[in-house]
């Protein structure tokens, strides 16, 4: 099995998990989408837990890279903070999907430990990144973990509200209200 098969499986699994959560990771459905036999998935991922952890890990790695790139190309920390919701919006633009780790967080009690760990890492990375940006805005207050957590939760919640109504304009309205209220700088 080639690494391109592994990547195709991860891509298909990411889409499925963003639409249906961890329980949406069905080897037969993924195999059909990728064009391989279901048993072939086991070559790369011996169990659903292994696949779920790999998908969640890849997701937070991609998000971390996107956050770092955003920070590098947007030197104004206030503007960077206002751009933060863009990543959550992209999921909605892609078939009314949710942030993968937000979706899996809702299933937290039923997740295998390895998947839980990756979901927690996603939240930790977002909060740490937001804390860094907030600290750049207000250097007199170098630790803003509570505020960073509130922003992460608020943006995730805005995405959830918009998805439940299949209305991306609702997401934009909620984010605009966060900007006007000062939550997002």
Domains of the chain: 49-181 (1.10.357.10)
Q: Residue 89's closest CA among 183, 15, 160, 180? A: 160
pLDDT, tens digit, for every residue of 105-158? 889 999 999 999 999 999 999 999 999 999 999 876 767 789 999 999 999 999
CB atoms near residue 8 (< 10 Å): 16
Say whether 120 sits in a helix, a strand or coil: helix
Task: Please give the pLDDT value at position 93.
Answer: 96
CA angle at 104 for the pair 41 and 77, rounded to the nearest 5° = 115
**Is the pLDDT score of 39 beyond 60?**
yes
What is this structure's pTM? 0.91
pLDDT, tens digit, for every residue of 64-88? 999 999 999 999 999 999 999 999 9
Per residue, the 3-state secondary structure of 24-89, as one string, reads: HCCHHHHHHHHCCCHHHHHHHCCCHHHHHHHHHHHHHHHHHHHHHHHHHHCCCHHHHHHHCCHHHH
């Amino acid at each position: 099995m080639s690494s391109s098969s592994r990547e195709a499986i991860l891509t298909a699994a990411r889409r499925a998990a963003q639409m249906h959560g961890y329980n949406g990771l069905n080897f037969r459905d993924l195999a059909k989408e990728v064009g391989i036999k279901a048993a072939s998935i086991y070559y790369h991922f011996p169990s659903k837990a292994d696949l779920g952890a790999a998908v969640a890990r890849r997701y937070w790695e991609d998000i971390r890279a996107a956050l770092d790139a955003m920070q590098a190309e947007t030197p104004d920390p206030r503007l960077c903070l206002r751009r933060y919701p863009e990543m959550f919006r992209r999921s909605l633009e892609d078939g009314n999907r949710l942030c993968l780790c937000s979706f899996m967080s809702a299933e937290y009690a039923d997740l295998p430990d390895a998947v839980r760990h990756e979901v927690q890492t996603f939240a930790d990375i977002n909060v740490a990144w937001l804390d860094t940006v907030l600290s750049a805005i207000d250097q007199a207050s170098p630790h803003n973990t509570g505020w960073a957590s509130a922003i992460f939760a608020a943006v995730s919640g805005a995405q959830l509200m918009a998805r439940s109504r299949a209305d991306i304009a609702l997401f934009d309205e909620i984010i605009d209200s966060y900007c006007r209220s000062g939550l997002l700088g």
